[in-house]
Structure 1
Amino acid sequence: MNSICCKIEKVTPFNDAVYQVLLRPQTPLAFAAGQYLSIVMDDNDKRPFSIASAPGSELLELHIGAAVSESYPMQVIERLQHSDTITIEAPAGNAFLRHQSPRPRLLIAGGTGFSYIKSIIEQQMALGLQVETLFYWGCRTAEAMYGADMVHQWQQRHPWLHFVPVVEQAPANWQGKTNLLLAQIKQDFVSVADYDIYIAGRFPMVGAAREMFREMGVDEAHLYGDAFAFIK
């Protein structure tokens, strides 16, 4: 893992709870789609965030969910807003895209887990892959789904990508699904045995997903999520 100083190019809100961060590393960083970096707050405080940009990007993009009530990520945002540079440690994570696999892909994001999925989809597009890919993104509200317009545009340009937005509280004109994320997936699939599954989100959701997938015949050699390293 490398320790790299980065210039802080941009810290702007997507909405009232999620910030986009753009970092310019002083030395090039080689990483795989789906890996993460750690923001070094101090020698004993290193905070992990998925890299939202695809490999080869000039800038490193992060999506940090930092509602006022969540002090842990908000401390990172405040540090970034009041600094010119920040040190990162990267790359890390084993849940990166296995781009040579021909199996269909099921991508799942809860909230800002979209940052992880964004890197994977952008890498698939960059490599010209045609593997059938279903992307389920779950949020509490439609307003929280800050990248939905971007994903709809990807879907229009790439027939292999199928986007299923899922919200718990839907507006009157909602075009997606209204449900809990995992409940919707369970409703839509009888078995997930044939899929490569990539998942990111809050640990309780990811842990519950693994138990659900086991009941649905998952091949755990093809189930990828860095949260699993911390969930027993």
Structure 2
Amino acid sequence: MTFQITVQPSGHQFSCDDDETVLSAAMRAGVGLPYGCKNGACSSCKGKVLSGSITHRPHQRRALTEEEEAAGVSLFCCAIPHSDLVLQAREVAGSGDFPVKKMPSRVASMEKVAPDVIVISLQLPATEVLEYRAGQYIEFMLRDGKRRSYSMASAPGAGPITLHIRHMPGGLFTDQVFSTMKERDILRFEGPLGTFFVREDSDKPMVLLASGTGFAPIKAIVEQMKATGSKRQMVLYWGGRRPHDLYMDALCRQWEQEMPNFRYVPVVSDAQPEDSWNGRKGYVHRAAIDDLPDMSGYQVYACGAPIVVESAKRDFVQQCGLPEEEFYADAFTTEADLAQP
């Protein structure tokens, strides 16, 4: 059975089968609902069901609480319709501008930039071009139908696609990257995916918040803003447990020298005496709060571990007056995150 889905306030409509999710049907129809992980863990696709009946596939309660669900709030990546629906959602302009493709790629280079981080460059077939927005991600298609998602760390049109891959011991893909993968290996992926990119209809100053390899899409965004000569004010807060987790610290300091509208604040949460760290300490989002107690006129772009993204959104909105609709995020969910109840 097929149902009709209407999105308010845009009035856009699309059809959805009774065995697919609302998000999958919207993506197929080119309707730009916001999304991130597509598996019920990050809450990026949250919206409201104004009329109609749905059920949810298994998801994480931190992404959608029982109270929210009772109030009609939905995770569209997990929502299965049982009738025609009217949804309330903030659509993302431009999210469907570039085609999603499946293509092979060759590992062009591998560089270990931290004890547990490798930067991989991918070479595409000579006949292929991947158009995307800075901040989007690709999904590697692995054996047995499994997939792994990684944000592109290079700005569109800036040479090979680069990815920042952190080793997750026991991880199906990252164990391979850190042990047997070599240059010239072939990897298949699908992309571009995701709605984490700069909203260009705004000139508000931007807070860029990254933890660990959440720096990857932020790097692409900064490089794109630099390439286009954007004058928007940007401040990057990049957090890691130890100084070596800020594996491209020198590049960020170089941006600060080259871009008058860019400021960089590195933050370390667990520095050891041998690190000789004299910079900011503690949680990265708390550093932003200390510096910017009033965020009412800002946009925030945050990427990293779910706990960092969730804490930042809660505290920026509640303590700093950030409008909730001006918080844009991409939470890096691992298989370990998804296994949590």
TM-score normalised by L of structure 2: 0.63
1:193 to 279, 296, 307: 296
Contact kept? 2:304, 2:332, Cα under 8 Å:
no
Contact kept? 2:305, 2:332, Cα under 8 Å:
no
| Residue of structure 1 in register with 2:308 after alignment | 205
| Residue of structure 1 in register with 2:116 after alignment | 17
SS of 1:198 mapped into structure 2: strand
Cα shift readout 1:99-121 (whole Å, capped 9, x = no counterpart) = 34211000000000010110000
Contact kept? 2:107, 2:183, Cα under 8 Å:
no
Query: Following TM superposition, by how much is the alpha carbon of 1:35 offset from its aligned partner in structure 2, in angstroms?
Result: 0.4
| Residue of structure 1 in register with 2:175 after alignment | 75
Call closer, same or farther: CA 1:217–1:88 in 2, change over 3 Å: same
Query: Following TM superposition, by how much is the alpha carbon of 1:184 offset from its aligned partner in structure 2, in angstroms?
Result: 1.6
Distance 1:121 1:165 in 2: 16
Call closer, same or farther: CA 1:184–1:93 in 2, change over 3 Å: same
List aligned pairs for 1:26-45, cutoff 5 A: 26=125, 27-42=128-143, 44-45=145-146
**Root-mean-square deviation over aligned CA pairs:** 2.2
Call closer, same or farther: CA 1:218–1:139 in 2, change over 3 Å: same
Point out which structure has higher relative CO (alpha carbons under 8 A, 6+ apart).
Answer: 1
2:321 to 194, 200, 217: 217
| Structure 2: gaps (5+ residues) | 1-99
Structure number with bigger Rg: 2
2:156 to 42, 46, 55: 55
Query: Following TM superposition, by how much is the alpha carbon of 1:186 offset from its aligned partner in structure 2, in angstroms?
Result: 2.2
SS of 1:191 mapped into structure 2: coil
Query: Following TM superposition, by how much is the alpha carbon of 1:221 offset from its aligned partner in structure 2, in angstroms?
Result: 2.2
Distance 1:72 1:203 in 2: 20
1:17 counterpart letter in structure 2: D
Contact kept? 1:4, 1:89, Cα under 8 Å:
yes
2:256 counterpart letter in structure 1: Q
Task: Give the % identical residues.
Answer: 30
Tell me, yes or no, if structure 1 residue 2 matches structure 2 residue 101: yes
Tell me, yes or no, if structure 1 residue 85 matches structure 2 residue 189: no
SS of 2:191 mapped into structure 1: strand
